[in-house]
Structure 1
């Protein structure tokens, strides 16, 4: 692998991102569904790669022909295969960088209802997933018990978490788990956006919303994913003078520091385990949840010592969004269609059960747990539970375009407590090794207890407010 080949792989990546955006701008039905350009670009790359175009052309050319890999080369695919596992560390390291961590009382009062609702849905995904594997997929299709965690890993965690778990699945003799989780993450995002838009239209007609009364008033630019001229604001603040250091370079360095701190924390855990009971458990843990912990440590340090507030949250959002776009394109483009085809029935059952649980939970639990603006607030958690945080934010923006409800503030506070555990946090990273090490039943029982805790707190504490 030469530097030129690595650089060319990034040039290809840029082309597919641009083509994905061009398609989004010019295809009306994709605009109506708010499909991100990165997903479009990822599917285009998948279709034009060795698994679709390459197989078609293989009927007419030899194995050594360029066309045997479609429009890709082996070096491009090799670089792209490694990128999701790297970019997820950047995504998670930036989660809390540039934020002011509020007091627990404010977090509890504002974000508590959504935390209880999200907690119930998140742990419930483990419950329905493990039960599905134990009762159906294992006996009928020979699917291993760790597949019971795939719904939460893929739906709550998204493409990044699935990519970050690739080595973990491989070490546990189920490498197919990576391709299945990437496929489920793609289904989750698409289902989250589509069902979210359908539910918003339904809520408007049934007068369940308190902010909007129609969803057809968006400008043509907004439908195309282009910011309206009157709404354009700086993408970030210039907290540092460029003659001393470029602000983007500084923030990139802070992200790198957070990842390094997370890596050192992980190595510390591995060392502590080696001198105690030496079960080898910590070696299964991926880096990305510890990168998030590293980001929290770095931010606490800056909160105490940095009077100039040089870390800008908007700049961190841009870095996070850049890494996420790269991650989604490359993850979708390199997913194995053959593996999904081999596990097609288990894959479809996992997807159907996961989607059904999320939608039913939203329809029946959100109005009973969230005391005010239940739809505007709950739709964000629905989007996150089937895709990534960006999906939840997108649906909240559609349901509350001018931020008139407490949805965004409550959602942000909920994330402070939720993200370190579920949705790609420590529980998500530990779930697969725990099921592999101790079997599915102990984790299932624990998941049921955690789900019931969220349900009871939501119904009998917040629901009565």
Structure 2
């Protein structure tokens, strides 16, 4: 693979992103679904690639036809297949960079109920998925037991986590897992928005959601994702003068440092495992753990040092957000464009079963458990947790914006604090990354028992600690 081929692959990727954006601008349905342009772009690339257009052309022509592989050349697809595993490290390294970390007491007081709710739902997804695998999918359909982790990986983790675990899936002999996970992540986002909006309307009609509407409205420009001319700004603060160093260059360097720290942490854990419990038990886990959860830890360490020693506060959160957002767009487009539809078709029963089971669990948890675990403003807070549990953090934020547009409740603040005690473990955190090697090494039953214990703990804690307040 030459540098020119890699560069051309990025040019083609950018072309699809532009197409996806303008299709969203002029498609009311996509605006109503608040569907990200990156997902539209990835699905278009999938349609015109070898999996759809290429297969259709091959049905009627010979394999030598110039369109037998679709409109995307093989070299570009090869580059795209490698991008999710690289860019996921950037996404996770940026999660806490530029954020001044509040005290754990404040986090717990405001975000505690949502921490309990989010943890319970996420661990419950492992319970549902593993039960489905153990009782139905593996004995009757021969599905790999690792599929039991796919609901949490895909729904809470999203496209980034699903695609970023591609190497882990491959190393553990479950290569089709990445395609299933990315497909489930797409289902999760669509379901999260559609079902979430239905729940918000139900809450407004029944009086459970008291702040729907508010004074802030989504303008037509807001719905299509265009910022009005009068409201445009640079989107980031210039913390350094460009003649000294370009701010973007400096922030990319900080992201690189966070990833480097994560790499050192991971290599240290691999070495520690090799000379301790791995050598004693011949059970190895860390060699299968991907880099991105440790890159997140590297971001926290980098930010902690910055808070303590950088009196100039040169790390700007808004610019870090742009870097993370860019990386996530690249990741989503490349991951969707390289899905194998044949793999999903071959595992269709498992795919549909996991999707339906995950959605039903999330809806039931929101309707019946959130009112009992969240002592105040349960609807506004719980709808954010539902959105994140079904279709990543952005979906949760969107649903809270619809349910409480004027931020009259502590839902948004609590949701933000929740991530500090939530994301390091699940939703793409350490356990999400370790769940696959844990199932591989100890079997699905052992991980199921662990998941049940943790789910019940958070359920009881939420009911009897926060629920009684």
What is aligned with 2:88? Answer: 88
Aligned partner of residue 408 in structure 1, secondary structure: helix
- Answering whether residue 150 of structure 2 is matched by residue 150 of structure 1, we say yes
- Aligned to 2:407, what secondary structure does the other structure show? coil
Deviations along 1:51-91, whole A, 9 cap, x unmatched?
Answer: 10011112344323331111100001001101111111001
Cα 1:36–1:313 shift into 2, 3 Å: same
Specify every segment of 5 or more residues in structure 1 that has no aligned partner in the other structure, as ranges.
Answer: none
Which whole-Å CA distance do the structure 1 matches of 2:249 and 2:423 have between them?
26
Alignment partners' CA distance in 2, 1:407 and 1:81: 38
1:35 aligns with 2:35: yes
1:442-453 mapped onto 2 (5 Å cutoff): 442-453=446-457
Question: How many Å separate the matches in 1 of 2:145 and 2:436?
Answer: 9
Cα distance, 1:463 vs structure 2: 1.2
- Quote the offset at 1:22 in angstroms: 0.7
Selected match of 1:282 from 286, 310, 317: 286
Structure 2 equivalent of residue 401 of structure 1: 405
Deviation at 1:162, TM superposition (A): 1.0
Provide the alpha-carbon RMSD of the alignment.
1.4
Counterpart position of 1:140: 140
Q: Is the 8 A contact 1:237 1:315 kept in 2?
A: yes
Aligned residue number for residue 67 of structure 1: 67
Distance of 1:232 and 1:412 partners within structure 2: 25
- Counterpart of 2:115 in structure 1 is 115
Is 1:384 aligned with 2:388?
A: yes
Work out which of the residue numbers 307, 311, 317 in structure 2 matches 1:313. 317
**Counterpart check, 1:435 vs 2:432:** no
Alignment match, 1:24: 24
Question: 3-state SS of the aligned residue for 2:50?
Answer: coil
| Equivalent pair of 2:214/2:404 in contact (CA under 8 Å) | no
Tell me if structure 1 keeps the 8 A contact 2:215–2:405.
no
Matching of residue 239 in structure 1 with residue 243 in structure 2: no
Query: Given that residues 213 and 405 in structure 2 are in contact (C-alpha distance below 8 angstroms), is that contact kept between their aligned partners in structure 1?
Result: no
CA offsets 1:160-191 (integer angstroms, 9 cap, x no match): 11112111111111111111111111111111
Question: Measured at CA, do residues 201 and 230 of structure 1 come closer, stay the same or move farther in structure 2, by a change above 3 Å?
Answer: farther
Written as runs of structure 1 = structure 2, the 5 A alignment for 1:196-215 is 196-213=196-213
The residue matched to 2:468 in structure 1 has which SS? Answer: coil
User: SS in structure 2 opposite 1:69?
Assistant: coil
Shift of 1:231: 4.4
Does 199-208 or 333-342 show the bigger shift? Answer: 199-208
Equivalent pair of 2:265/2:294 in contact (CA under 8 Å):
yes
Q: Does 1:336 align with 2:305?
A: no
Tell me how far apart the structure 2 counterparts of residues 189 and 396 of structure 1 sit (CA, whole Å).
Answer: 15
Regions of 4+ moved over 4 Å: 214-217
Give 2:422's match in structure 1, choosing from 395, 418, 427. Answer: 418
Give, in angstroms, the shift of residue 218 of structure 1: 2.5
For 1:215 and 1:424, how far apart are their aligned partners in 2? 35
Q: Secondary structure at the match of 2:67?
A: helix
CA positional deviation for 1:232: 3.8
The 1-side partners of 2:64 and 2:110 are apart by: 60
Moved more, 130-139 or 160-169: 160-169
- Three-state SS of the structure 2 residue aligned to 1:51 is helix
Question: 1:119 touches 1:454 (CA, 8 Å); kept in 2?
Answer: yes
| Partner in structure 2 of residue 262 of structure 1 | 262
Q: Cα deviations across residues 119-149 of structure 1 (Å, max 9, x unaligned)?
A: 1100000000000001110111011211111
Extract unaligned runs of 5+ from structure 2: none
How far is 1:24 from its partner? 0.7
Please list the CA deviations of residues 211-241 of structure 1 after superposition, one character each: whole Å capped at 9, or x if unmatched. Answer: 2247994211111112244544441111111
**Superposition deviation, residue 400 in structure 1:** 2.2
Structure 2 counterparts to residues 165-176 of structure 1, below 5 A: 165-176=165-176
Pairwise CA distance, 1:337: 0.1
1:360 maps to what in 2? 364
Whole-Å Cα distance in 1 between the matches of residues 415 and 357 of structure 2? 25
Q: How many residues align?
A: 465
Q: Answer yes or no: is the 8 Å Cα contact 2:214–2:406 preserved in 1.
A: no
Counterpart Cα distance in 1 of 2:403 and 2:226:
18
- Do the aligned residues in 1 keep the contact of 2:38 with 2:332 (CA within 8 Å)? yes
* TM-score normalised by the chain length of structure 1: 0.97
Deviation at 1:47, TM superposition (A): 0.3
Once structures 1 and 2 are overlaid, which stretch shifts more, 42-51 or 266-275?
266-275
- CA distance in structure 1 between the partners assigned to 2:113 and 2:25 by the alignment: 37
Which shows bigger deviation, 412-421 or 193-202? 193-202
User: Is the Cα contact below 8 Å between 2:122 and 2:156 reproduced in 1?
Assistant: yes
Show the counterpart of 2:191: 191
Q: Which moved more, 1:349-358 or 1:403-412?
A: 403-412
